Amino acid sequence: MRAAMREIGFCCALACASSLGCGGGKSDAPGEPPSAAPPQPPAEPAAPSAQPAAPAPAAPVVATVTPDEAGIVHMTGSDQMRFSAGRIEVKAGQKIKIELKNAGTLPKEAMGHNLEVLKSGMDPMAFAMKAIAAKATEYMPTDAADQVIAHTKLLGPGESDTIEFDAPAPGTYPFVCTFPGHAALMNGQLVVQ
């Protein structure tokens, strides 16, 4: 049995070395350079990993406030340039009181806050750009007063102001802090139902 296995092994080795060579290519003639390995097909790109896609970031939650039993909407402005709520809901024709308090600690010259309720359809960012030049009137542009329903004074840390007005017709009315650089973060909507 051992002799038979040796013969099979010898025959296989001889066949491999003679006609095909062990590399599977043709044997090279003496004096010729060795032939290049046969071309290999291009490798297929790796399949994308089956990792689940990351969930989209959640939209920021917009806090909604309504008037309390006394009919007052309480709002604060912070040193992080944020109003405590981005949405105020009231009823049409209702007498509205909005109290704004500056809950921050930074000086008024660096981090003052106000709240200006604009008429429906007004662009709060465009209005805030006009307000930048109105430092003398606490960033309330007098040439744009016809675009404003009501506004607080500019508040320093710990200060508060209350505005009072009748709710306009049902619709959405923007509000904004017009202290320079605040409007992008400190804005919201008065929603009259």
Per-residue pLDDT of the chain (193 residues; tens, 9 = 90+): 444 444 444 444 444 444 444 444 444 455 555 555 556 655 555 555 555 555 555 555 679 999 999 999 999 999 999 999 999 999 999 999 999 999 999 999 999 999 999 999 999 999 999 999 999 999 999 999 999 999 999 999 999 999 999 999 999 999 999 999 999 999 999 999 9
- What is the rounded CA–CA span in Å between residue 20 and residue 92? 94
Give the CA distances from residue 63 to residues 26, 73, 99, 102, 176, in Å, rounded to whole numbers and listed in that order: 79, 13, 16, 18, 15
Return the number of other C-beta atoms located less than 10 Å from residue 179's C-beta: 25
- The reply to whether 170 falls in a domain is yes
Full-model pTM: 0.69
- The reply to whether 28 falls in a domain is no
Domain tally for the chain? 1
- The reply to whether 98 falls in a domain is yes
- The reply to whether 180 falls in a domain is yes
pLDDT for residue 62:
77
- The reply to whether 6 falls in a domain is no
- The reply to whether 17 falls in a domain is no
The two three-digit tokens of residue 97, written as one number: 């009181």
CATH code at position 69: 2.60.40.420
Q: Which domain holds residue 120?
A: 64-192
pLDDT for residue 60:
57
- The reply to whether 41 falls in a domain is no
CA torsion through residues 167, 114, 120, 67, sign: negative
- The reply to whether 59 falls in a domain is no
